[in-house]
Structure 1
Amino acid sequence: MKYDFNQTINRENTRAVKYDFREKLFGSNEILPMWVADMDFASTPFLQEAIIERARHNVYGYTTYDKELLETVQSWLKERHQFDVSTDLISLSPGVIPSLHALVQSFTEEGDQIVIQPPVYPPFFSVVKEHNREIVENPLIEKDHHYEINFTQLEEQFKNGAKAFILCSPHNPVGRVWTQDEVQRMVDLCEKYDVYLFSDEIHADIIFSEGRHYPSETLSNNSESNKRIFTLMAPSKTFNIAGLQGSYVISPNQKSKEIFDKQLGRQGFVVLNTFAYTAMEAVYKHGEDWLEQLNEQLQENRDLVHRKLQESKTSVKAFDSEGTYLIWLDFRDTGLSHDEISRKLKEDAKVGLNDGKSFGDQGECFMRLNIASPSSVVEEAIDRIIQAFKK
């Protein structure tokens, strides 16, 4: 079946954060929103059919998961990522961020050092700070508009007593899909220095043709009892269902899972909403063909952004992206301050992007662009940016 990813869908007045929050965030509803990390595409029709069928029952009491749902997740991971997991080690959660909060509380103590790699997803900072843990930054190294990991510094930080490491794989916002060697080196260092690895792999399914995702757990050499790798995943980014709030965590062993589940319970997370279960099962059973076509469209959008910027010879540059639907835009050569860049985007281009500073100090004069929209919308956004910064 051929899916249409160039259909423009009006999301206004649906309480969509991306659209209905524009006035408050950018000061105008005329802003073209290219910020929040969700998609402007309709999800797979199998999902809509499954939700409508469940709604026909018209009773929405407490629901729970069953073995079939866990086996559906298990099958997806094995076929998509060659990640063979036990259903006994899967915990369901409303989202990756609540799971990170629970992991930090479960396996670290106040004052413990936790390593993150900025520029990185803003909640990584808050899940450390809000529990009185110490952030240790291992900034990514910029090289030829491409980012690499500073392994020398990372090992030194582990040697100095870091208790945990929060990994973003694939990386938001820079779009890196870590190679097998890079993931292996990070896993090896964690195991060498007994560091917990909380691996956020929510973007694992959105990979372009030149990349491949390697789940951290698949490269572990430790015995099950000694493993300290927790994998956080969800269908939410993959199938544009973040609003249904369903994710899962794969623990390294049963003892760790019990500790984690207990903390989730303390936070009040016991069951998901009815449609989260329905959605997770539907997309993982029937969504692979839709996903393949989605990735092709996103890669075309990425290439469109790079081509337009190169042809325009503007001072705005785009970093290489191997996955996710996020592009890291570099405005440093414009000669403008960060505030001037922000103002120009809002007032001249009238395009809403994620502020680079929210991803850490390394985001000075950077912005994040979401390309998960029809090509015509992406082209309009990049044309507006080019025109604004040509003046």
Structure 2
Amino acid sequence: MILRNDFKEVINRENTRSAKFEYREKLFGRSDVLPLWVADMDFASVPELQDALIERAKHNVYGYTTYDDDILNAVKNWLKKRHDYDVNTDLITFSPGVIPSLHALVQIFTEENDQIVIQPPVYPPFFSVVKAHNRQLVENPLINNDGHYEINFDHLEQLFKQGAKAFILCSPHNPVGRVWTKEELEQLAKLCVQYDVYLFSDEIHADVIFSSYKHYPIAHLNKDIHQLTFTLMAPSKTFNIAGLQASYVISPNRDFKKKVDEQLMRQGAMTLNTFAFTALEVVYNHGEEWLDELIEQLEENKQLVNDKLEQSQSNISSVDTEGTYLVWLDFSKTGLKHEEIKRKLNDEAKVGLNDGKSFGDQGEQFMRINIASPPSIIEEGIDRIIKAFES
């Protein structure tokens, strides 16, 4: 296969106001770390996107911008082709990001002191989106079965029995890289329906799935779970356009969709910016080949990390990764305490990773590495880490 896109090219992101680089001093205490932390990529996006943005910029008028059927159909066609998910476009609400949408859903469909369940270790904003609105955070920790994470369904059912009002699902899961099976999602859906629990399903990483695995939008499983599910999706992680802030919520019915619209409007986050709409349409219409090639590179990078760790004497391992470009690294067998692990990474390896404890208490002695960089960068990063911990 002849690759059209070069995922091995190293692109200099210094002095571009990139958060990944500009925050190094603040987060890691030094500016010379190799940043492999925040969830954006070091790859150029879909080639057609740059041309489309330049063409739109030539108009030189950037007033309020709305969407039309072409944009809605771009979303619909993408979800149908990639996930066999047939979406009613009347139920789509655009939002600058998944987290603003989660805040809106929590405010609309739960009350103060209501219990909301999350599954740590999990994306850090899930904690704050519950606590910010005086809801009760309830944890259903994932089970680490020798590097393969699973859902504790018995414990989850107990939480639902105790009156949980909503459940925030991360699918695929960040940071542990699980792509939930259809059987797991069906079991989860059954519990939500049985106990009448709203399901807020963050599926922002749905497109980045490795071979042998398949993403199933949980709302698409059956009519019963569809009526309780709000699906949150975006092209931002998939196509490296997070800085353009484009996402959407798929509500289960028109009444709920109207409530979502109204709440986002109250938050001032009802619509997208001019370039976000352009980007969303272009990447969904022209990005499939780019994405397929990206996944090939990510699988190569994942294997590189796994092989080097297995061949080393560092006592570091990576958990099973089935999707996303985020890998959960296990440092527990190094015999070092969490703060010492951070110090060695920052000051000896000089590699910036996401602190595992930010994902919950279950992240003790774990770190998250972003492998969405050219393989030469990933190899340099993992070699630095191995050298520091072998010493």
Instruction: Tell me the TM-score range normalised by the shorter chain.
Output: over 0.9
What's the CA shift for 1:248?
0.3
Question: Is contact 1:200–1:231 with CA below 8 Å preserved after alignment?
Answer: yes
Of residues 90, 112, 128 in structure 1, which corresponds to 2:130? 128
Question: Is contact 2:67–2:277 with CA below 8 Å preserved after alignment?
Answer: yes
2:320 counterpart letter in structure 1: D
Residue 227 of structure 2 is aligned to residue 235 of structure 1: no
Q: Distance in 2 between matches of 1:164 and 1:44?
A: 36
Q: Distance in 2 between matches of 1:222 and 1:337?
A: 46
2:326 counterpart letter in structure 1: L
2:97 counterpart letter in structure 1: G
Query: Residue 224 of structure 2: SS of its match in structure 1?
Result: coil
- What corresponds to 1:17 in structure 2? 19
Of residues 19, 26, 29 in structure 2, which corresponds to 1:27? 29
Q: Distance in 1 between matches of 2:271 and 2:323?
A: 31
- What corresponds to 1:106 in structure 2? 108
Q: Distance in 1 between matches of 2:223 and 2:317?
A: 40
- What corresponds to 2:97 in structure 1? 95
Deviation readout 1:70-89 (Å, 9 max, x if unpaired): 11101100111000010100
Structure 1, unmatched stretches of 5+, are none
1:276-295 alignment to 2 at 5 Å?
Answer: 276-295=276-295
2:281 counterpart letter in structure 1: E
Q: Distance in 1 between matches of 2:102 and 2:373?
A: 29
1:1-391 alignment to 2 at 5 Å?
Answer: 2-222=4-224, 227-391=227-391
Q: Distance in 2 between matches of 1:312 and 1:344?
A: 17
Deviation readout 1:290-330 (Å, 9 max, x if unpaired): 00000000010001000000011320111010000000001
Q: Distance in 1 between matches of 2:5 and 2:313?
A: 34
TM-score for both structures, normalised by structure 1: 0.98
What's the CA shift for 1:97?
0.2
Runs of 4+ in 1 over 4 A off after TM superposition: none
Q: Distance in 1 between matches of 2:129 and 2:89?
A: 27
What's the CA shift for 1:271?
2.0
Deviates more, 1:186-195 or 1:275-284: 186-195
Question: Is contact 1:188–1:220 with CA below 8 Å preserved after alignment?
Answer: no
What's the CA shift for 1:223?
8.2
Q: Distance in 1 between matches of 2:158 and 2:323?
A: 29
Q: Distance in 1 between matches of 2:157 and 2:40?
A: 34
Query: Residue 146 of structure 2: SS of its match in structure 1?
Result: coil
Question: Is contact 1:325–1:372 with CA below 8 Å preserved after alignment?
Answer: yes
Question: Is contact 2:190–2:225 with CA below 8 Å preserved after alignment?
Answer: no
Query: Residue 200 of structure 2: SS of its match in structure 1?
Result: strand
Q: Distance in 2 between matches of 1:314 and 1:210?
A: 29
Query: Residue 231 of structure 2: SS of its match in structure 1?
Result: strand
What's the CA shift for 1:270?
2.6
Aligned pair count reads: 389
Q: Distance in 2 between matches of 1:190 and 1:49?
A: 45
Query: Residue 248 of structure 1: SS of its match in structure 2?
Result: strand
1:293 counterpart letter in structure 2: E
Query: Residue 222 of structure 1: SS of its match in structure 2?
Result: helix
Q: Distance in 2 between matches of 1:381 and 1:91?
A: 39
Query: Residue 301 of structure 1: SS of its match in structure 2?
Result: helix
What's the CA shift for 1:221?
3.5
Question: Is contact 2:219–2:225 with CA below 8 Å preserved after alignment?
Answer: no
What's the CA shift for 1:25?
1.3
Q: Distance in 2 between matches of 1:270 and 1:333?
A: 47
Q: CA RMSD in A?
A: 0.9
